[in-house]
Amino acid sequence: MSATIRSAALIGASVLTLAGCASAEPDYMAVVPTGRPEPAAVIQTPVRESTAFTLGTDQPRAPEQLAMQFDKADLSIKVLPDQKAIDAVAVLDFTATSRLEAVVVELDTLLAVSSVQVDGQEIGPDGWSNPEGRMTIRLPQPVEADGKVSVRIAYAGQPRVAPQAPWDGGFVWATAPSGEPWIATAIQPEGCDIFWPCIDHPAAEPKRVDLHITVPSNLSAPSNGRFLGTVDHGDGWTTWNWSAANPNTYAIALNIGPYVELKADYRSRFGNTVPMSFWHLRSDDPVKAQALFDQFTPMMDFYEATVGPFPFGDEKMGVVETPHLGMEHQTINAYGNAYKLDGKGYDWLLHHELAHEWFGNQMTNRNADDMWLHEGLGSYMQPLYLRWLHGDRYMQAELLEQRNQLKNRFPVVSGEERTEDEVYKDDAGPGLDLYNKGSLIAHSLRMLIGDEAFFRSVTRLVYGRPDPQPGNFTTRSATTDEFLAIVNEESGRDLTWFFQGYLYQAVLPDLRQTRDGNTLTLEWITGDGAAFPMPVEVEIDGRRTVVPMTGGRGRVTAPAGAHVLIDPGNKILRRDVFIEEWKAQPGA
């Protein structure tokens, strides 16, 4: 549903740099604590390239796609490591919401279609077309509203190879240290149509996806949802069966390798038990693998205490080691951080991708223009987790690292429909500001309205209700405007000015100060010149007072010679000239 890059989402807990974001979202998509993109485990140049349409995602849906509901996808995929190819059959079930004369899905033209059937009837080559990767299948007879239609598509070929996963995605065909094939998909920037026929849009999630992944019998194939067992065919091939409810389309993931599974149960504070699994390479240091797995429980406890119940408790909380850095994949998050320590007492990559189970998979933005709901709120969980673990000093240090990375070149939200490329790439959109600025805006909002109103707002945004319990909610989509309406209700005030001043302006609000005798005058200047009545705490010779800032202006008595400190608790995100001067110097 976020996430991340495109959900992908990956963001470092420290200094962050956009790497095409796994957009991962390439989590455009993963970034690392050093501030430099992590080299991909495998960098390969594809011989063939997908069309520009296929490489885009979150694009406007065709009229036929708006006229049908995606009920189920049943995907049987045989992965052929030696040929770097797949051989697959997809059965897609839809319900018409209005008269339907054709079914339209997306599928990469790199994959050759050998058969198309509608409700068991073979459709000849003249009955379907797939120009540029948008496949139109004419129905033998129209389907009226509430009618059902089932489409079967057989296809095969060599799917797009990721030039640099997860930032520039596709398939990763790697080799494990022990010599076996090690394969993963990372497709947030490009979308589900890279390897299965789908409607490549966040609002078109199927209600269920069943996966039947056939791989060499010496390998494992952990994937999304509940494990339904394996079938050993006795010919060197084994099929792994999975079933996932309401999955984010780009989050459907293939992961194949010589894995060892660590398993445990999480006893939720909401009364249910959640299976947890970590599939790591057989060649890994078992002590390091166990140490990472031991982090699952405290992270789950933090998120449940902070946001609400783990959204997919009847399936699993799953993580799999991958030959790329990582990406959020619903119930099977990709992890490739190599167990690195950074002195913060937790694995930032594991934590950030787990955030997307709430911010991205449970709650999905309706359009990429609202991607900060995934990345910004998800990134704010990291300074909050540092406080949970170590106290205020560590939270503030993390917020400062995020503050120092701001670009402020584009608004976080434009107010217009955008594609993921337009928001994740920092030459066209907010880029890493989705993460860092989004997090800092969330912090300023929390400081303004208080913990109770803030966290109740976040919970309502994620679950669509204030009292989530296992079994009383389902996945949902949301917008920035909806979050504003929730915040207004929970805080009992109209905070349109706050959202407008922070999210819809590229520049930060600027707090101007003038002294006239014993009077200190403060004035907020915003990108659009609108009033910004953000109260300001001022410390004068050690004594603190709050200046109301009605209409964006306020005054306070400050005797000549008194030491004045603005916002001593660092509660407000605002322009800081000294940071701009630092960044403007050569080499900064």
Same domain for 463 and 552, yes or no, is no
Please check whether residue 230 lies inside any domain of the structure: no
Same domain for 485 and 538, yes or no, is no
Pairing of the two strands 181-186 and 170-175: antiparallel
Please check whether residue 451 lies inside any domain of the structure: yes
Please check whether residue 430 lies inside any domain of the structure: yes
Distance CA 225, CA 207 (A): 12
CB atoms under 10 Å from CB of 261, counted, come to: 13
Q: Are 246 and 267 in contact (CB under 8 A)?
A: no
Same domain for 393 and 476, yes or no, is yes
Same domain for 499 and 373, yes or no, is yes
Q: Are 431 and 393 in contact (CB under 8 A)?
A: no
Please check whether residue 588 lies inside any domain of the structure: no
Question: What are 346-376's pLDDT values in tens digits?
Answer: 999 999 999 999 999 999 999 999 999 999 9
Which residue, 503, 523, 548, sits at the end of a domain? Answer: 503
Same domain for 419 and 494, yes or no, is yes
Which residue, 483, 503, 523, sits at the end of a domain? Answer: 503
Same domain for 492 and 540, yes or no, is no
Q: Tell me the residue type at 349.
A: L
- Residue 456's domain is classified under what CATH number? 1.10.390.10
- Residue 527's domain is classified under what CATH number? 2.60.40
Which residue, 454, 470, 503, sits at the end of a domain? Answer: 503
Please check whether residue 412 lies inside any domain of the structure: yes
Q: What pTM was computed for the model?
A: 0.92
Range of the domain at 535: 510-572
Same domain for 417 and 522, yes or no, is no
- 3-class SS string, 8-62: CCCCCCCECCCCCCCCCCCCCCCCCCECCCCCCCCCCCCCCCCCHHHHCCCCCCC
Please check whether residue 342 lies inside any domain of the structure: no
Written as tens digits, the pLDDT of the chain (588 aa) is 333 333 333 333 333 332 223 333 334 333 333 232 333 344 444 457 999 999 999 889 999 999 999 999 999 999 999 999 999 999 999 999 999 999 999 999 999 999 999 999 999 999 999 999 999 999 999 999 999 999 999 999 999 999 999 999 999 999 999 999 999 999 999 999 999 999 999 999 999 999 999 999 999 999 999 999 999 999 999 999 999 999 999 999 999 999 999 999 999 999 999 999 999 999 999 999 999 999 999 999 999 999 999 999 999 999 999 999 999 999 999 999 999 999 999 999 999 999 999 999 999 999 999 999 999 999 999 999 999 999 999 999 999 999 999 999 999 999 999 999 899 988 899 999 999 999 999 999 999 999 999 999 999 999 999 999 999 999 999 999 999 999 999 999 999 999 999 999 999 999 999 999 999 999 999 999 999 999 999 999 999 999 999 999 999 999 989 999 999 999 999 999 999 999 999 987
Same domain for 517 and 442, yes or no, is no
The mean pLDDT value of the chain amounts to 92
The total of structural domains in the chain comes to 2
Same domain for 470 and 525, yes or no, is no
Same domain for 497 and 515, yes or no, is no
For residue 166, say if its preceding peptide bond is cis, omega within 30 degrees of 0.
Answer: yes
Q: What is the pLDDT of residue 588?
A: 73
Please check whether residue 480 lies inside any domain of the structure: yes
Question: What are 260-311's pLDDT values in tens digits?
Answer: 999 999 999 999 999 999 999 999 999 999 999 999 999 999 999 999 999 9
Please check whether residue 211 lies inside any domain of the structure: no
Same domain for 402 and 519, yes or no, is no
Q: Are 75 and 154 in contact (CB under 8 A)?
A: no
Question: What are 432-474's pLDDT values in tens digits?
Answer: 999 999 999 999 999 999 999 999 999 999 999 999 999 999 9
Q: What is the pLDDT of residue 429?
A: 96
Same domain for 400 and 474, yes or no, is yes
